Amino acid sequence: MQTRGECVIVKGLTKSFKKALWVYHINSGSCNGCDIEIIASLCPRYDIERFGIKLVGSPRHADVLLITGPVSRQMVDKVKRTYEQMPDPKAVICVGNCGNTGDVFYESYNLVGPVDKILPVDVYVIGCPPRPENIIHGITKAWEKLETLEATA
Ligand code: SF4
């Protein structure tokens, strides 16, 4: 029997994709809430690897950058460097309200974000923190963008 979460995931994937999608995750100053939800989407209940979505340990191997947090001053250079190290074509997914808007940290003295002030964000996943279903949906949106780019290249 399927759980509610599994139903949502199956409905969200309206087509199959040509190749596996490799994802690099960076925390730009989040409270770890969003990061825990990313881990949850990798764990057996959601198990995104079965769709070919895999976390990798280097941005040089990644198609997608999954970024959490509002970008603290200490993380700006690291975030930019990580993005520059990724090969083209690439996509950026911003996970969580802090990265998308600054949320409760908006206009804090130590923030340089939100993320789209620093990187070109392709998909905004909202929530504090977003549920794994939302994160997986965001990744499929990035996948569609990359396949569209490949088809028009
Ligand atoms: S959006 Fe919420 S859970 Fe995510 S980093 Fe910000 S405060 Fe934490």
Q: What is the mean pLDDT of residues 100-118?
A: 93
Indicate whether 112 pLDDT > 60: yes
User: Which numbered atom of ligand 1 lies nearest the CA of 128?
Assistant: 2
Give the pLDDT score at 57. 96
* Domains of the chain: residue spans and CATH: 31-152 (3.40.50.12280)
Give the residue carrying structure tokens 């130590």.
110
27, 28, 34: which to mutate for ligand 1, most atoms within 8 A of CB?
34
Q: Which residue has the higher pLDDT, 75 or 151?
A: 75
Percent of the chain with pLDDT over 70: 90
Give the pLDDT score at 19. 81
> pLDDT of 123-153, one tens digit each?
999 999 999 999 999 998 998 899 888 788 7
Indicate whether 5 pLDDT > 70: no
For residue 42, what are its two tokens? 């990798």
> pLDDT of 39-65, one tens digit each?
999 999 999 998 889 999 999 999 999
Q: Calculate how far, in angstroms, residue 39's C-alpha sits from the geometric centre of ligand 1.
A: 14
Query: Under a CB-based contact definition with an 8 Å cutoff, are residues 114 and 121 in contact?
Result: no
- Does any ligand 1 atom lie closer than 6 A to the CB of residue 8? no
Query: In terms of residues, how long is the chain?
Result: 153
- Does any ligand 1 atom lie closer than 6 A to the CB of residue 68? yes
**Which residue, judged by its Cα, is nearest atom 5 of ligand 1?**
30
Give the residue carrying structure tokens 């620093």.
118
Indicate whether 10 pLDDT > 50: no
Give the pLDDT score at 13. 59
